[in-house]
Structure 1
Amino acid sequence: MQQNSLFGDTPPPPTDIHRLFFALLPDESVRQRIAAAATELRARHDAGGRLIGLHRYHLTLQFLGDAHEFQADRAAAAQSAAAEVAATAFDLPLDRAGSFRNRSIPWWLGCERTPEGLQALFDRLGVALAKRGVRVEGGHSLTPHVTIVRDAVAPLHPPVAIEPIVWRVGDFALIHSQLGARNAYTVLGQWPVAE
């Protein structure tokens, strides 16, 4: 028997959310070091919550937004923009842990000072996307962080210093994240930066 809502309509089936964003993806060695730091911080500060899986570690560069279906044309325009970006490799020291003040209380690893190379990559990618007419939703400033815990029981505030994890950044990627039934990340393209 079919269930009806209060208004006599059958609710629509749940739909997946399709998210597009540019990100930095750590290599295996950096992922392992992030995981070790996350485990130690969570235990030391009694964070609770759930640790993020190693395969999901990333640092978002430009957030392009969410949609109810995959936007192939938008992804193609974003890929064309990325191919035009000229940047150089840089070291990204993850030397701080903290949390954001929102309902899910996510904990993160970040850096005390944004490296010049990271800021330049963010800026140049933003300009290239604007030239291609690709709207970004992440704003015009960068808060470099890698989320390590979701749904912590308490915030980690103020941020605390950690043993630096030095991440050599040599490329960036466009990610399609499908949230829902599949809950999967797909790398749509990766672009190297010059050494």
Structure 2
Amino acid sequence: MKKMMKKIWACLLACTMIVTMLPGLMVNVKAATSYELRIGDTEVTDENLSGAGWSYDPSTKTLTLDGLNCQKSKVGEGVIHSYRDLNLVLKNENKIENLASALSGNWQSGIRVNGKLTISGSGSLITTGGTGYTSHGISVNSLIINSGTITATGQEAEGSSGIYARNGVTINGGKLIAQASTSSGGGKPRNRMWRNFYFKWR
């Protein structure tokens, strides 16, 4: 009987030790916070705020490009694609090119922002759309350029534009070249600068 009791107490003690150790063995898995921004194949999260040639500050929604050279095939989206307003700061020379050539999926853009894009900085940016259904160097709801040197190119496609801005473009400074190729669909190319433009010279 004594041996049986000892075995029971030993089992109870072992169970108690296991239960005590469980909290230490448990790993809290927290999902990364997405900022609804992609650079190439990289999703920007609170655990991934920088890469080769870029960094992101979520507190100001500012993406800084510093020597970025990114060429990717992105059908229906941009090589840089933000689903919210974005501030873009340019440092040194930066190049973005969409290599997509699919005949389906609109807005094969170099940069696409589903909101307002504000560009500033002392650097330069060359951004080029794909060659599929539509090609846009920059596609946004609205665009504000405060400084920097920007070249936006739409390549030969069913519809092509250097800049496609649904709610207009405001230029406060900097240098902008927007250019579009001829339409492969037999129609006229879209305006090199599409939609309304507002210029403010200091």
Query: TM tier, shorter chain?
Result: under 0.3
Select the structure of larger CA radius of gyration: 2
Structure with the higher helix share, 1 or 2: 1
TM-score, normalization: structure 2?
0.19
Higher relative contact order (CA 8 A, sep 6+): 1
TM-score, normalization: structure 1?
0.20
